[in-house]
């Protein structure tokens, strides 16, 4: 029986010739990731278990990104605990103020993750790295602690759903519209503990930023992971980024999938997820009567360079609507700097937006954009649960950077026009 991409990676890391869906395995890890919220919990468990060292200082990444620069005393204490642990164990990949970025944008950018890796992270959106042809998934802080100490983790091998992509996206659509369309189609539990495997001739037309966005939100469909095949786009992105050699896996022709779902990219339209579940999707054109108070462009889902460029193309030379707060957050310091060099930051400020250093802040209702009762936000983030971005009676609408930027100009949910992109 053939194996999927995910099953091949897991088999290799478990030292087995093959694995099948439902099998329990113990696999070696290439990278263990934590952030300023989850790492302190993992450190406490690490110490409680009596571990006195990490398995490999070069295979652990700790990124301070949620509440950094620190928003309050508790955040400062959590960051301090991360710094002390990283220093004590000589963790190579430690990112603090000045070096930091949002973890799931930073690790691919810095070449810390690569094709063929087996990665766990104490953050649910660790599934992002499947865009590089890696197996990556979110775990709890206890599993992170064990992973840091032993370099191993246990998994139940997931079954898979194949998404056969054809066509090419319209100019006013991006990977965010693709994944919102898919989640709207299958639901938030439509891929529960499954591997979402993307294939087909349409893959070649998707940029790396599109793929990272799509895999990032696989968890919003309940998936264990999302994964793309390695192609020339992937190779060009990885070239020169990492000292570790990428390992390319491909699904067997007779790999078993629970179902195959066909997606014609040319039929995708600007899509918005309405409160209070990512599956509650509608075309942006059907929501033009929805007034918004705030716009957030950023996060681990959509804070990359192409996202900043999409926002710039729409906001440049225009003004954010009166009464709208527009917050733009480049995902890493490298992206932030490139935005400065390209003149994007000046254009954003001239349009009436504010620009922040990299942070997850508003996405999880932490800081830099908390909503009050009755307020609405259209955001390029990944979740719109009740109270996700502030008051339990606030509302979050999920959209692409182009749709969010277009909405900032009108004050209402607005689909971007192809001519504006």
In tens, the pLDDT along 373-388 reads 999 999 999 999 999 9
19-264 CATH, one of 1.10.357.10, 3.30.499.10, 3.40.50.150, 3.30.70.2740: 3.30.499.10
Q: Are 263 and 181 in contact (CB under 8 A)?
A: yes
Which pLDDT belongs to residue 90?
Answer: 97
Average pLDDT, the chain: 96
Domain boundaries, the chain: 19-264, 273-420
Question: Do the two domains 19-264 and 273-420 of this chain adopt the same fold?
Answer: yes
How confident is residue 393, by pLDDT bands cut at 50, 70 and 90? very high
In this structure, are strands 152-156 and 24-28 parallel, antiparallel, or unpaired? antiparallel
Closest CA to 390 of 272, 293, 320: 293
pTM for this one? 0.95
* Residue 419: pLDDT over 80: no
Beta strands at 259-264 and 376-379: parallel, antiparallel or unpaired: unpaired
pLDDT at residue 421 in the model? 65
Q: Give 270-318 pLDDT, tens digit per residue.
A: 999 999 999 999 999 999 999 999 999 999 999 999 999 999 999 999 9
* Cα–Cα distance, 374 to 201 (Å, whole number): 44
For residue range 92-147, list pLDDT tens digits in order: 999 999 998 999 999 999 999 999 999 999 999 999 999 999 999 999 999 999 99
What residues have CB less than 8 Å from 24, skipping those under 6 apart?
A: 154, 155, 156, 157
Q: What is the model's pLDDT at position 263? A: 97
Least Cα distance to 130 among 40, 41, 216, 252 occurs for: 216
Question: What superfamily in CATH does domain 273-420 come from?
Answer: Aconitase, domain 3 (3.30.499.10)
């Amino acid at each position: 029986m053939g194996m999927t991409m995910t099953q091949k990676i897991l088999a290799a890391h478990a030292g087995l010739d093959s694995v099948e869906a439902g099998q329990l395995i113990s696999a070696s890890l290439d990278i263990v990731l934590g952030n300023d919220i989850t790492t302190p919990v993992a450190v406490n468990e690490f110490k409680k278990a009596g571990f006195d060292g990490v398995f490999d200082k070069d295979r652990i990444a700790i990124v301070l990104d949620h509440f950094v620069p620190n928003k309050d005393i508790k955040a400062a204490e959590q960051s301090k605990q991360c710094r002390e642990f990283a220093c004590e164990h000589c963790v190579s990949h430690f990112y603090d103020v000045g070096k930091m970025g949002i973890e799931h944008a930073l690790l691919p950018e810095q070449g810390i993750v690569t094709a063929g890796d087996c990665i766990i992270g104490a953050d649910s959106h660790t599934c992002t790295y499947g865009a590089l042809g890696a197996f990556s998934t979110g775990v709890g802080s206890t599993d992170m602690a064990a992973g840091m100490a032993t370099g191993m983790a246990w998994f139940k091998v997931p079954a898979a759903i194949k998404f056969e992509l054809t066509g090419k996206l319209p100019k006013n659509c991006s990977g965010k519209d693709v994944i919102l369309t898919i989640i709207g189609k299958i639901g938030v539990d439509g891929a529960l503990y499954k591997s979402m495997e993307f294939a087909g001739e349409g893959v070649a037309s998707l940029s790396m930023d599109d793929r990272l966005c799509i895999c990032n939100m696989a968890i919003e469909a309940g998936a264990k992971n999302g994964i793309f095949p390695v192609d020339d786009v992937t190779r060009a992105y990885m070239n020169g980024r990492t000292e570790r050699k990428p390992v390319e896996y491909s699904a067997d022709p007779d790999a078993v999938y629970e179902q195959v779902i066909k997606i014609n990219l040319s039929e995708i339209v600007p899509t918005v997820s309405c409160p209070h579940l990512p599956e509650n999707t509608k075309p942006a054109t059907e929501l033009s009567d929805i007034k918004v108070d705030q716009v957030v462009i950023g996060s681990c889902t959509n804070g990359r360079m192409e996202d900043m460029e999409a926002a710039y193309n729409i906001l440049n030379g225009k003004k954010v609507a009166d009464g709208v707060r527009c917050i733009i957050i480049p995902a890493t310091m490298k992206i932030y700097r490139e935005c400065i060099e390209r003149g994007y930051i000046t254009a954003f400020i001239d349009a009436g937006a504010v620009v922040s250093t990299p942070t997850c802040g508003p996405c999880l209702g932490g800081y830099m954009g908390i909503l009050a009762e009755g307020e609405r936000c259209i955001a390029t983030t990944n979740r719109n649960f009740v109270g996700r971005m502030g008051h339990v009676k606030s509302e979050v609408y999920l959209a692409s950077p182009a749709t969010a930027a277009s909405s900032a100009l009108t004050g209402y949910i607005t689909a971007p026009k192809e001519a504006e992109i």
